[in-house]
Chain A
Amino acid sequence: MNNVINAIDLKIGYSSNSILANIEELKIKQGEIVSIIGESGIGKTTFLKNIAHLLKPISGTLEILNSDDTPERGEVGYIPQNLGLIKHETVFFNVLEGAICNESILRSISGLHEEKVIDKVEEAIELMNLSNKIDEPIKRLSGGQQRRVAIARTMAQGPKLILADEFLSELDDKTVESVWKAMMDYANSNDITLVIVEHNIERAKLADRCFKLEKNDEIEYSILSEVKI
């Protein structure tokens, strides 16, 4: 089975003078669900942004989907901590943002979307039980519904790898359970690799494997190690 993420002796941070974390070796296979835990400010989000090619590693090897180059259009889905939704726009508009990865830039810019793209949007919205909210602006939705929109956007995109950054924070237990289940079901049924940064250890344990970023007394930066769950 192919490695979707392959990191060797990877140093991450914002400059070579301030290395946040070192990942000696990390191999994540296709279809695996992996959680990353650790204290605030330890480098979890920075690591996720490196995987998403939003930041460049300081040194080392980082291959995503068997390439150290920028992934192909639509191959990586990223759900930031604050979801990254366009608050004044509707559910449809936001989910369409993911779906346009499946068509040419010309079609996307001109607004002449292919029928299959619109179908993907409607299908994702229906799967997330948001059909009755399709024309609602995001800011009028509850926290749980907004997270469902973020998942629907990623579903409509159809990525091979999903990166989610503490996207369940500030939700009540019941909502967390339903959103988490929706995400897991989607990843499992489509053989998608899911990397979740999570502060809640109980939820992190639901993943196939769990990694922890932590500092020790000898070195300034944190290191990633697998935690037995």
Chain B
Amino acid sequence: MNIKRKKYPIFLGFILITTYLVFVDLVDGDWSSLENSLDNLSTFFYESLWPPNWKVIEAQSYPVCERNWDFLCSPAYIGITETLKIAFVATGLGFILSLPLATLASRNLYSDSIAIPFRLLLSAMRTLPSIIWAIFFVILVGLGPVSGVLAMTFYTIGYLGKMQYETIEGLSNDPLDAAKAMGLKNSEVIQRVVIPETANNLISQLFFMFEYNVRHGSVIGIVGAGGIGYYISTYLKFLQYDKVIALLIILFIVVVIIDLISIKARSYFVDGDTFKSPSLFENFFRVK
């Protein structure tokens, strides 16, 4: 133990030196681009980004919107609700489809001859980032939220599937052994051992994925797959960075709210005496 601890500074030093050397190799002696970077950042921040332009929460003139409240016709509201809807449907579909694939990819439930092909399938789905899936589905089904849902669903299956099979493989062997020795079939073992034992982790991952998909709504929208990303992309094209930062702040607030809801929701799935739902302050500052 002590020997391992003594090795930490050496290991950290090694990482620092290697990172520096690789960076120097990448820059190839041309440091001029970094010379004025702080000035550029300051100019860009104060002249283009700040203060945020809150017109994004006011009603837009087109398309015609007849809702009573201005905010309900604003790009921010329309964009974020569409992103939330896309992320919600994609996460739900992805979860339902990834769970059977993840169980088939778990080596403590199935032999390598079954598990490895399913791992490769999940890996292949994960290899393409959601933006590439979005481009693919925009070509396939056209611009709009449907291609966004399909893109996010495919990426969710690959990403969530990996987290799920790793959780399943981390299960203690004893409940699995007891069930298998009884002669229960794999479908029964999954229903009576795997799901109950991993439920909390699966739900936690589900919320994480939903939050991840909401964040990625800003990316896939850029290629025309709907949501808040469509507005971000439009403002970027017209160099309206103050509106972009306003939308990103709104997106950040939504992501924080989802994070808080997910922590609260988790506490319903784990009994009070083993999991204490943390307060808002504890969530951010890790105070116990």
Contacts and interface: CB of A to CB of B under 8 A. Distances in A.
Contacts of B178: 78-80, 83-84, 97, 153
Interface size class of B (residues with CB under 8 A): 20 to 34
A97 B187 contact: no
A210 B184 CA distance: 30
Given A53-B181, A72-B183, A84-B179, A100 B174 contact: no
Interface string B16-54: 000000000000000000000000000000000000000
Contacts of A82: 172, 174
B177 A77 contact: no
B177 A80 contact: yes
Interface in A44-75: 49, 52-54, 70-75
B248 interface: no
Interface size class of A (residues with CB under 8 A): 35 or more
A52 to B, nearest CB: 4
Contacts of B172: 82, 84
B-side binding surface: helix, strand, loop or mixed?
Answer: helix
B185 A105 contact: yes
B182 A98 contact: yes
Interface string B174-211: 11111111111101100111001101100000000000
A86 B188 contact: no
A137 interface: yes
A86 B191 CA distance: 12
Contacts of A98: 182
Contacts of A157: 182
Contacts of B128: none
Interface string A141-180: 0000000000001000101000100000000000000000
Contact of B182 (A49, A76, A86): A76
Contact of B181 (A54, A83, A85, A109): A54
A135 to B, nearest CB: 13
B181 A100 contact: no
A137 B271 contact: yes
Contacts of A76: 181-183
A204 B205 CA distance: 46
Nearest to B193: A86
Contacts of B174: 80-84
